[in-house]
Structure 1
């Protein structure tokens, strides 16, 4: 028995030592200038990025004392933080800065692969946003809620706990549900611009219908616009990821309607039939109702071009 315990302890210690040896260039970065230079190397568009602490952002009429006060109370006093958000053993980097306006980026690190930028701030006009890292993986994300433009509701400081799962940050769920999802339907509208307009449905046997209406551009084929009606059987891994994510976000308990507080954007309608005919329908103007929904939409958008449609 003692020998077995010793073997287990050695195995655990070996794993911890191995994780500590997964060193990358992020681990050697220690100054704001080094972080800023690193981001500038990730693409010519990012040469405009300027690293800043929350307290360094200015309002139109001077110092942003209000946001600074909240940041101080949360002890968010630096412009960058290191953590391993996806638990792969490599150090990721959360960075606060000015990229045309206030932005929070997370540089996801997968070792030898190029760093991948994940934008944590996904709404416009949201300068007072505060990321606080706990347990080296969860981000306590504080932000001011944005009532609809015609609502009399007042904005208030709100918190979400975000975790990196399913390829993106989503709201943390300590007790995911398991619903019997029978059918998924997703419809998008046009916007003031070139937003893709399409309909896609998937049943429990992975049979899918895709109706490409406007601006469905397949960049992998030289920016070819796809139009028409198509059918396919969804790849099992893609299907399972989508269903698992929907269960993880506990979709029946999400709001029925979401909306950003600006105009001329796109609306999506997500309809999920589950548990012997129950229906949950979510209308989302701006399509960023929650982080989990944002990821669901991304997976559904990807299905337009990563399946064998006929």
Structure 2
């Protein structure tokens, strides 16, 4: 196996074996195990740490919120990446990782510049476009287990429809069937702001994780002059900004006052 290649699936045992491989990469970049910065812009010092967990190298950030500390996990885990490390650049995180990609045995070292936005670390978008979003359709499939399967339809007048299929257990209530409601102005504004920040227009149309038995997310966006963008995301790990969008969409099931159709 060449120095630039790692199998697309690596077991826990092999992950430990490749720990030295990751350390060699970190040493070649002269990366420090921890660095300081003010990532959330509140004037207090935050710390980012890269170290070894039981399964693989991992990166976390500890944010100083004044009266408490908040920990954010930045690395995605040994099923998604085998090496992960970070350094600070202008209060942003330069995140380096080797991702495990399906059907690909040559997994290169990739670098993302991450910023703290919408309460998460996501890929920086220097000039997000302000698209006119006409409709958002999102469908989550089931998985090998109790993953919720459902469909959401949201239109520009803030009307929302929810078809709850299986395992939509929210707040001690099991939802099934069709529901409708209307998003608040703040809910809709947040959703559109995050969606535009994802730079969805330039994202891939398909994403796949390297493991099996996971949920697939189907996203369809109708925008501007009836343009359409579709994204199929098996594992729903396509980008960090997309993951934030998915979190919001999943969360709407429990934060909207629904009426049964």
The TM tier, using the shorter chain, reads 0.7 to 0.9
Name the CA shift for 1:188/1:169 in 2 (closer, same or farther; >3 Å): same
Is there any run of 5+ residues in structure 1 with no aligned partner, and where? 1-57
In the other structure, the counterpart of 1:236 is 185
1:118 to 69, 72, 76: 72
Residue in 2 that maps onto 1:132: 87
Counterpart in the other structure of 1:299: 248
- Pairing 1:192–2:133 present: no
Distance 1:59 1:124, change over 3 A: closer
Instruction: Write the mapping of 1:44-63 to structure 2, written as runs, cut at 5 A.
Output: none
Alignment partner, residue 32 of structure 2: 77
Structure 2 gap segments, 5+ residues each: 1-12
More relative contact order in 1 or in 2 (CA 8 Å, sep 6+)? Answer: 2
CA distance in structure 1 between the partners assigned to 2:245 and 2:16 by the alignment: 40
**Cα separation, 2, equivalents of 1:104 and 1:285:** 24
Q: Is 1:161 matched up with 2:113?
A: yes
Q: For the pair shown, which has the larger CA radius of gyration, 1 or 2?
A: 1
Q: Please state whether the residue corresponding to 2:50 is helix, strand or coil.
A: strand
Separation in 2, partners of 1:280, 1:198: 20
1:172 aligned to which of 120, 124, 129: 124
Provide the C-alpha distance between the structure 2 equivalents of 1:298 and 1:283, rounded to a whole number of angstroms: 16
TM-score with structure 1 setting the length: 0.74
Report the CA distance between 1:271 and its aligned residue: 0.5
Q: How big is each residue's C-alpha offset from its partner over 1:262-300, in whole Å with a ceiling of 9 and x where there is no partner?
A: 111110001100012111000000001000101000010
Higher helix proportion (structure 1 or 2): 1
- Distance, in Å, in 2 between the alignment partners of 1:60 and 1:182 is 45
Q: TM-score, normalised on structure 2?
A: 0.87
Task: Specify whether residues 122 and 60 from structure 1 end up closer, same or farther in structure 2 by C-alpha distance, changes over 3 A only.
Answer: closer
Task: Determine which structure has the larger strand proportion and give its number.
Answer: 2
**TM-aligned CA deviation for residue 209 of structure 1:** 0.4
Root mean square deviation of aligned Cα: 2.0
Q: State the shift of 1:166 in Å.
A: 1.3
Question: Do the aligned residues in 2 keep the contact of 1:208 with 1:233 (CA within 8 Å)?
Answer: yes
